[in-house]
C-alpha cells in the first residue's frame, strides 16, 4: 500500500515538472516586471 502511495506522489510530481506550460504562464515568465525570474 505504501509503495502505491509513493508511486502516485512521484507521478504527480513528475507530471507537474514536465507538464506543458500554458501561454499565460509563458507570458508571466517573460514579463520584465516579474521578480520571480531574477534568481531569488
What's the rounded mean pLDDT across residues 2-29? 84
Domain that includes residue 22, residue range: 2-38
Overall number of domains in the chain: 1
Alpha-carbon distance of 40 to 4, in angstroms, equals 35
In the numeric block, which cell numbers belong to residue 25? 504562464
Q: How confident is the model at residue 4 (pLDDT cuts 50, 70, 90)?
A: very high
Are 28 and 34 in contact by the 8 Å Cβ rule? The answer is: yes
Alpha-carbon distance of 32 to 5, in angstroms, equals 40
**Contacts with 37 (C-beta within 8 Å, 6 or more apart), sequence order:** 29
pTM of this prediction exceeds 0.85: no
Alpha-carbon distance of 21 to 32, in angstroms, equals 18
Amino acid at each position: 500500500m505504501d509503495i502505491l502511495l509513493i508511486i502516485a506522489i512521484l507521478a504527480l510530481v513528475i507530471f507537474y515538472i514536465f507538464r506543458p506550460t500554458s501561454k499565460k504562464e509563458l507570458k508571466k515568465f517573460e514579463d520584465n516586471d516579474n521578480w520571480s525570474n531574477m534568481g531569488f
